[in-house]
Structure 1
Amino acid sequence: MKKVGLINLDIMEYQKSLKIQYMLVDYIKKCEDIAGFFLLVEHFPVFTVGKNGGMENLLWSKEYIASMGIDLYETDRGGNITYHGPGQIVGYPILNLKHFHQDIHWYLQQLEETIIITLKDMGMLAGRKNKYRGVWVGENKICAMGISVKNWITYHGFALNYSVNEEHFRMIQPCGITELGVASIKKIKEDVQKEEVYLGIKNSFQESFNCELVEEKIEALEELILTDD
């Protein structure tokens, strides 16, 4: 069975996690026998804008956003504007799809399936919408998706709302969608603990991608991915 390194980054600035992703993409490109890594992280408050744009969906000025202590970052993932912050579990699979299935649509389906299974195991009915990417509970998005693929190596990923600051979400039109809302796990099932969600994501990821997650310490990869240029 394919082995994928699991790295928990705890809470980290968005830009630092992006640097780690880029370095891992380059590392996997050089070492094609490696199936990949799976990063789990929470971010300090930040709005990120994807390749499809999204500045028009920022409802407050950049100056006001900065005064609230929220960063704004343009990035190279797919999709529109979204929010990351404490209480949101972000997953960045850095996978060489040559070890899995060289099909981007398949990859996105499996990523969504990972979250759908996780929520189902906790007693929540979640699914897809034909018009939009991500995972939904009723008319509310609970997990956003935005990926990039370079030489069949994936990066960026998903953002699952556990217990987020809804006031921050109201500063944007998430993903440019105006007719639908945003959901959090804690609002649906108060008794679900964050540790349960992390464990559920790990188990369902292994099921969806038919792999074994092997925990790696970030310190063991420090020279590879954290050394300044």
Structure 2
Amino acid sequence: MGENRLVVRRLGLVEYEPTWRAMQAFTARRGPATPDELWLCEHPPVFTLGLAGKPEHLLRDVGIPVVKIDRGGQITYHGPGQLVCYLLLDLKRRGLSVKTLVHRMEQAAIDLLAGYGIAAERLEGRPGVYVGGAKIAALGLKIKNGCCYHGLAVNVAMDLSPFEAINPCGYPGMAVTQLAAFAPAADVATVGVKLLAQLEEKL
């Protein structure tokens, strides 16, 4: 079981691009015995565009940088007040398929929100977690040599207005929401502890 332990790193508020490059470097140099890691952080305002991302999903320039990255999916927004959890896992060693991992990540967010009395759900064909049809958590992964990086972003208590400048995850007019709309006292640090507990249980 030792090799399936999870090393947790709390990075605080960190720039997006260096964090992404650090995930790539970690994955490139890891070996069969490298422990898996979960990184918790927040990012300054940034739009990220996935591999197949279409630039037209950025509707207007609001002065927020756009970074083209190597996960699946379209465009999304990261900013302060959003909890980001990166999962750096050896899927082969854990016996996880990508589909199973995505399901467990979504379930971790659903169970986390249930703890706040919020009924969240999946929507068919749209990865992520939704409350009343509005997206509250997004996920994206990159798989390389049987290992993954990128992860899960949960809107906790943030300025949601930048989402209006994009088609979130490529869906025009998709509503977004956040935990603070239902639990005003929610903060990123506390939610991070609860999300970690959910992920550690499900992985």
- If the length of structure 2 is used for normalisation, what is the TM-score? 0.94
Matched, 1:105 2:99: yes
Partner residue in 1 for 2:137: 143
Q: Whose RCO is larger (CA < 8 A, sep 6+)?
A: 1
- Among all aligned residue pairs of Structure 1 and Structure 2, give the percentage whose two residues are the same amino acid: 31
Equivalences for residues 189-228 of structure 1 within 5 A: 189-209=183-203
> Is the partner of 2:121 in helix, strand or coil?
coil
Deviations 1:36-78 (A, max 9, x none): 11111100110000012131111114xxx3xx3x211100100
Count of residue pairs brought into register by the alignment: 201
Alignment equivalent of 2:26, drawn from 10, 24, 39: 24
Q: Which runs of 4+ in 1 moved over 2 A?
A: 191-196
- If the length of structure 1 is used for normalisation, what is the TM-score? 0.84
> Is the partner of 2:72 in helix, strand or coil?
coil
Partner residue in 1 for 2:11: 9
Change (3 A) 1:18 1:84: same
Partner residue in 2 for 1:227: none
- The gaps in structure 1 that reach 5 residues or longer are 210-229
Q: Which amino acid is the alignment partner of residue 10 of structure 1?
A: G
Matched, 1:42 2:36: no
Confirm or deny: 8 A CA contact 2:167 2:173 kept in the other structure.
no
Confirm or deny: 8 A CA contact 2:47 2:66 kept in the other structure.
yes
> Is the partner of 1:77 in helix, strand or coil?
coil
Q: Distance in 1 between matches of 2:193 and 2:65?
A: 29
Equivalences for residues 60-99 of structure 1 within 5 A: 60-61=60-61, 65=62, 68=63, 70-99=64-93
Shift of 1:35: 3.7
Q: Which amino acid is the alignment partner of residue 39 of structure 2?
A: L
> Is the partner of 1:52 in helix, strand or coil?
coil
Matched, 1:55 2:49: no
- CA RMSD between the two structures: 1.3
If you compute each CA radius of gyration, which structure gives the higher value, 1 or 2? 1
Q: Distance in 1 between matches of 2:116 and 2:160?
A: 22
Confirm or deny: 8 A CA contact 2:157 2:187 kept in the other structure.
no
Confirm or deny: 8 A CA contact 1:54 1:175 kept in the other structure.
no
- The gaps in structure 2 that reach 5 residues or longer are none
Confirm or deny: 8 A CA contact 1:102 1:152 kept in the other structure.
no
Confirm or deny: 8 A CA contact 1:54 1:80 kept in the other structure.
yes
Partner residue in 2 for 1:181: 175
Shift of 1:19: 1.3
Confirm or deny: 8 A CA contact 1:101 1:107 kept in the other structure.
no
